[in-house]
Chains A and B, each alone.
Chain A
Amino acid sequence: MKKNIFAISCFILLTSALGLQAQQVEKSTYGTFALTHASVETVTKGRLENATVIIRNGIIEAVGPDVAVPADAQVIDCKDLIIYPGMIDGGTRLGLQEIESISVTQDYDEIGELTPEMDALTAVNPNSVLIPVTRVSGVTSVITSPSGGLFPGTAALINLQGYTPEQMYGGFKAMTINFPSSGKRGRYDKRSEEEVKKDGDKAVKKLNDTWDRVRTYAAIDSATAGKAAYNPELAALVPVLKGEMTAFIEVNKEDDILAALRWIKKQKIKAVLTGVAEGWRVADSIALAGIPVITGPVLAMPTRDTDHYDQAYKNAGLMQKAGVKVALRTGEAENVRNLPFNAGFAAAYGMGRDEALRAVTIIPAEIFGVADKVGSIEVGKKANLFVSTGDPFEPATAIKHLFIDGWNIPLESRQTLLYEEFLQRTPGVSAQPLPGKS
């Protein structure tokens, strides 16, 4: 009987493997495209009806109802369809993690508390199976970020297209800082209140000590014209100290957020708060400080048992209404594709559809300083866009076309290929009964 099992297992494995290999790989195309008869959600300049968008060599060349279609353009009729700018996820591990439980496929958490010299872009795997799965949902760019420790490293904005990190790089990097937390990490954090506080205080001291050293290092470095002793950790932080590089400060708990705001003010650095799960509690303070926020996931549990069940859904909207500049993130790797649904929930629970759309397009682009390139459909911007049958936040909406960096990307991923292969499997069920034990 063992033989039988082995045989059938082999058979299944072989057939599925062959099935995958036999697929003809569809390639992305580049050049000149005319998307005609479309509704266009420009985000920054309102909605255009029956309009045309011309893409040439990666750039949006023209947008409008009266645009002529160039002779060399490949025409894509978008009647009854809507064109949106590609969505941007403000915080993911995409490209740094392939399979969550397998540590050798995790490249986001280096050993050490102080590893600011780690650079996410280095470890981004352009061929991750997760990337096509993500982009077919209309997410065209993400921040991919290291995590763990006090200074996990440098996050990078990447476009979900390309075969090298250089091709993917979106022109923005940020230093990540895990601001010391005075709260429990999660429901299964067994530390006592005292231990939590002690660990928090220790981390605050470490943060400040490190910062003092960075300051000294920077002073020596400029006094010696760049001859300070080799110290990659401190050197990596100097641009942040000088305000040349943005710091992504991960902070979630109410009083930690306030502490982080004070710290930012004191250090006079350029900062963005990330996470900010309890931002709604101190939204006015954040707004007053003028610090932008990348929050999410929206589909998350409340941080306290005494909170409304939907407090996390409402958080982004509450901050935005208080005047905070809010971008969204999923914090995901394999399911960054849920960014539109996170935005949809934020929209439904107070943010409104238009603001939620901005929070995944132009707002993150502004926060990252790349609003001149992405985040809306405007002439001169990069052609990061998708064409859908309707509101991209609605699950029933289908994405019909996708452009990243001007490349017309096939709407294909391993998940769609498996669907095509197995919807009607051939051969189907065998006529014989299942081979038994005896």
Chain B
Amino acid sequence: MKHTLCLLFLLSTFFLKAQAPVGDLIIRNGTVLTITKGSLDKTDILVQKGKITGIGKQLKAPAGIREIDATGQFVMPGIIDAHSHIAIDAVNEATNPITPEVKVGDAIDPFDLSIYRALAGGVTTSHAMHGSANAIGGQCQTIKHRYGVLDPSAYKFEGAARTIKFALGENPIRVHGEGRGVQPRTRMGVEHVIRDAFEKGLAYKEKWATYEADKKKNPDIAPPLYNERYQTMADILDGKIIIQCHSYRADEILMLMRVLNDYGVRRITFQHVNEGFKVAPELAAFGAMASVFSDWWAYKFEVYYSTAYNAAILTRNGVVTSINSDSGELIRHLFHEAAKTQRYGNLSDDEALALITINPARQLGIDTKVGSIEIGKDADLAIFSAHPLSIYAIPQLTIVDGIVRFDLAHDPADMRLDIDPEEATPTYYGQEDVDGCMRDTEFMFSHRH
């Protein structure tokens, strides 16, 4: 019965495209971790039409509004994952070293159970990224975790910055140089391939500018061919897209900053960036940001000389840093991943929580909407049983746009939305996994590495 009702509800919300569903509620008496404005004891948060409209003690609430008692609990902004591959059906268009024209936003999978599991870890927004097979991969999509809504386009985070995946080092080298026998086969080649794309983007831009100018004189003049690939490069050159660059080694990080410097591109977040700590001063000087793992290392050679203190060193050097998951498993406990920076580098509570809230929001160009608890921001909130940086904290309730999308007290085991009518019994999956970043490149390798 519950399922049926649930399904009916879902169907009724399908394709309410223009405005994503929003809700009203009030959270009473919680410890509010605002991130930007300190922690507030025994404080209420009023939410109307999906926005935070009040923060304070014993707020007056409209009659009939849903009240959530958070006494003894901790309320923080919905967690933001700056690097994931959930909720998309295609990750890598690994057939060309340069594919800036593809958009993972075209392949949103509203049925991906990972969305719900991320919500169950307090994560309300994630950055669904193209993989790292190509030196310039596809455009990424920032999504809100409105699990239950079936319209794929309703997952897109309205007003989020356009972002695009770049990738340096082993992955593009393995896929193209070793796998397909085309450049890049080395880190020199990676630089060349990227410069080449920028050059072609410039030439393309110029060709069209010339055409548009000539067209004023002769409206019948023949147009040049349209090329979505180089049009996208032109958009990067015009500063319309934030680069999100998969990178590990210090040398390649410096290389890309030099290249971007040459083309006047400033907006970049380095992803993974395991050796970012080695060039933290340069990153800070460039204005580049960093989105890192809490402690992943040694899974391949380019991450052998890593340290779990990376986030702390970058933060201390003034680099806007986030901690990401890159994993459907890890995304469920990003609050714990952030907490590790207290062991590895002694970050304060606010600094640690900023790594999974306001900082990733800055990196994705959504910091005016989410990432902290402030009046006027989206009501994306996560409620925990204990301080979220404690190992004993258990997510209780996750709210997106004022709608409760995860509630531990009403958490059915089976949250699948897409039911295979031919699946006779629940399928068991072992723990063998593939690297999320390299999904859709399996056709080239027999093994995950």
A binds B: yes
Contact with A along B221-236 (1 / 0, CB 8 A): 0000000000000000
| 6 A–B pairs (Cβ distance < 8 Å), ordered by A | A183-B428, A301-B117, A304-B428, A341-B336, A425-B281, A438-B262
Interface assignment of A287: CB less than 8 Å from any CB of chain B: no
Contact of A181 among B316, B329, B430 (CB under 8 A): B430
Contact residues in A for B299 (Cβ distance below 8 Å): 99-101, 334
Q: Given known contacts A12-B250, A100-B300, A349-B394, is B262 in contact with A306 (CB within 8 Å)?
A: no
Tell me which of B158-166, B202-210, B251-259, B364-372 binds A. B251-259
Contact residues in A for B28 (Cβ distance below 8 Å): none
Query: Smallest CB-CB separation from A398: which chain B residue?
Result: B343
In the bound complex, what is the Cα–Cα distance between A422 and B278 (angstroms)?
6
Contact residues in A for B282 (Cβ distance below 8 Å): 429, 434
Contact with A along B288-309 (1 / 0, CB 8 A): 0000000111111100111111
Interface assignment of A335: CB less than 8 Å from any CB of chain B: yes
Query: Smallest CB-CB separation from B392: which chain A residue?
Result: A348
Contact residues in B for A304 (Cβ distance below 8 Å): 426-429
Decide if A436 touches B261 in the complex (CB within 8 Å). yes
Decide if A434 touches B430 in the complex (CB within 8 Å). no
Decide if A301 touches B340 in the complex (CB within 8 Å). no
Decide if B343 touches A184 in the complex (CB within 8 Å). no
Decide if A415 touches B429 in the complex (CB within 8 Å). no
Contact residues in A for B416 (Cβ distance below 8 Å): 305-306
Q: How far is the CB of B355 from chain A (nearest CB, A)?
A: 13
Q: Given known contacts A100-B300, A304-B426, A419-B345, is B262 in contact with A437 (CB within 8 Å)?
A: yes
Decide if A305 touches B343 in the complex (CB within 8 Å). no
Q: How far is the CB of A9 from chain B (nearest CB, A)?
A: 5
Interface assignment of B220: CB less than 8 Å from any CB of chain A: no
Q: A99-B299, A184-B430 are in contact. List 7 more A-B contacts (CB 8 A).
A: A99-B301, A100-B298, A100-B449, A101-B449, A348-B392, A419-B307, A429-B285
Interface assignment of A320: CB less than 8 Å from any CB of chain B: no
Chain A residues with CB under 8 Å of chain B are 5, 8-9, 12-13, 16, 98-103, 129-130, 181, 183-189, 252-254, 277-278, 299-301, 303-311, 333-335, 337-338, 341, 344-345, 347-349, 353, 391, 393-398, 414-416, 418-419, 422-425, 428-429, 433-438
Q: How far is the CB of B253 from chain A (nearest CB, A)?
A: 10
In the bound complex, what is the Cα–Cα distance between A183 and B430 (angstroms)?
7
Contact of A102 among B257, B284, B301, B343 (CB under 8 A): B301
Q: How far is the CB of B287 from chain A (nearest CB, A)?
A: 12
Q: How far is the CB of B128 from chain A (nearest CB, A)?
A: 17
Interface assignment of B176: CB less than 8 Å from any CB of chain A: no
Decide if A348 touches B413 in the complex (CB within 8 Å). no
In the bound complex, what is the Cα–Cα distance between A416 and B343 (angstroms)?
11
Interface assignment of B393: CB less than 8 Å from any CB of chain A: yes
Contact of A185 among B280, B304, B430 (CB under 8 A): B430
Decide if B392 touches A347 in the complex (CB within 8 Å). yes
Q: Given known contacts A299-B333, A395-B340, A397-B343, is B277 in contact with A418 (CB within 8 Å)?
A: yes
Decide if B332 touches A395 in the complex (CB within 8 Å). no
Decide if B431 touches A419 in the complex (CB within 8 Å). no
In the bound complex, what is the Cα–Cα distance between A13 and B278 (angstroms)?
10
Q: Given known contacts A5-B258, A419-B309, is B391 in contact with A303 (CB within 8 Å)?
A: no
Decide if B389 touches A333 in the complex (CB within 8 Å). no
Most chain-A CB neighbours within 10 Å: which of B285, B300, B428? B428
Decide if A188 touches B442 in the complex (CB within 8 Å). yes
In the bound complex, what is the Cα–Cα distance between A100 and B117 (angstroms)?
27
Q: Give the interface size bracket for B toward A.
A: 35 or more
Q: How far is the CB of A43 from chain B (nearest CB, A)?
A: 18
Interface assignment of B107: CB less than 8 Å from any CB of chain A: no
Interface assignment of B113: CB less than 8 Å from any CB of chain A: yes
Decide if B250 touches A188 in the complex (CB within 8 Å). no
Interface assignment of B390: CB less than 8 Å from any CB of chain A: yes
Decide if A434 touches B258 in the complex (CB within 8 Å). yes
Give B302-327 interface residues, CB cut-off 8 Å to A. Answer: 304-309, 312-313, 316
In the bound complex, what is the Cα–Cα distance between A396 and B254 (angstroms)?
33
Query: Smallest CB-CB separation from A10: which chain B residue?
Result: B251
In the bound complex, what is the Cα–Cα distance between A333 and B411 (angstroms)?
34
In the bound complex, what is the Cα–Cα distance between A102 and B306 (angstroms)?
16
Q: How far is the CB of B279 from chain A (nearest CB, A)?
A: 8
Interface assignment of B116: CB less than 8 Å from any CB of chain A: yes
In the bound complex, what is the Cα–Cα distance between A305 and B433 (angstroms)?
15
Contact residues in B for A344 (Cβ distance below 8 Å): 391-392
Contact residues in B for A419 (Cβ distance below 8 Å): 277, 307, 309, 312-313, 344-345
Interface assignment of B182: CB less than 8 Å from any CB of chain A: no
Contact of B117 among A12, A99, A309, A398 (CB under 8 A): A309
Decide if B391 touches A341 in the complex (CB within 8 Å). yes
Query: Smallest CB-CB separation from B342: which chain A residue?
Result: A396
Q: How far is the CB of B11 from chain A (nearest CB, A)?
A: 21
- Please name the 4 residue pairs, one residue from A and one from B, whose CB atoms are nearest each other, closest first: A186-B432, A344-B391, A429-B281, A183-B428
Decide if A429 touches B120 in the complex (CB within 8 Å). no
In the bound complex, what is the Cα–Cα distance between A386 and B299 (angstroms)?
28
Query: Smallest CB-CB separation from A337: which chain B residue?
Result: B295
Decide if B429 touches A9 in the complex (CB within 8 Å). no
Decide if B392 touches A184 in the complex (CB within 8 Å). no
Contact with A along B415-442 (1 / 0, CB 8 A): 1100000000011111111100000001
Interface assignment of B328: CB less than 8 Å from any CB of chain A: yes
Decide if A187 touches B429 in the complex (CB within 8 Å). yes
Decide if B431 touches A186 in the complex (CB within 8 Å). yes
Query: Smallest CB-CB separation from B258: which chain A residue?
Result: A434
Interface assignment of B339: CB less than 8 Å from any CB of chain A: yes
Q: How far is the CB of A191 from chain B (nearest CB, A)?
A: 11
Contact of A12 among B251, B258, B285 (CB under 8 A): B251
In the bound complex, what is the Cα–Cα distance between A382 and B152 (angstroms)?
59
Q: Given known contacts A188-B432, A436-B261, is B309 in contact with A418 (CB within 8 Å)?
A: yes
Most chain-A CB neighbours within 10 Å: which of B259, B313, B391? B391
Query: Smallest CB-CB separation from B298: which chain A residue?
Result: A334
Q: Given known contacts A130-B298, A418-B307, A425-B280, is B429 in contact with A303 (CB within 8 Å)?
A: yes
Q: How far is the CB of B148 from chain A (nearest CB, A)?
A: 15
Decide if A434 touches B261 in the complex (CB within 8 Å). yes
Decide if A306 touches B308 in the complex (CB within 8 Å). no
Decide if B251 touches A394 in the complex (CB within 8 Å). no
Q: Given known contacts A396-B342, A418-B277, is B427 in contact with A305 (CB within 8 Å)?
A: yes
Give B344-394 interface residues, CB cut-off 8 Å to A. Answer: 344-345, 389-394
In the bound complex, what is the Cα–Cα distance between A390 and B308 (angstroms)?
20
In the bound complex, what is the Cα–Cα distance between A422 and B274 (angstroms)?
13
Q: How far is the CB of B361 from chain A (nearest CB, A)?
A: 23
Contact residues in A for B390 (Cβ distance below 8 Å): 394
Query: Smallest CB-CB separation from B449: which chain A residue?
Result: A101
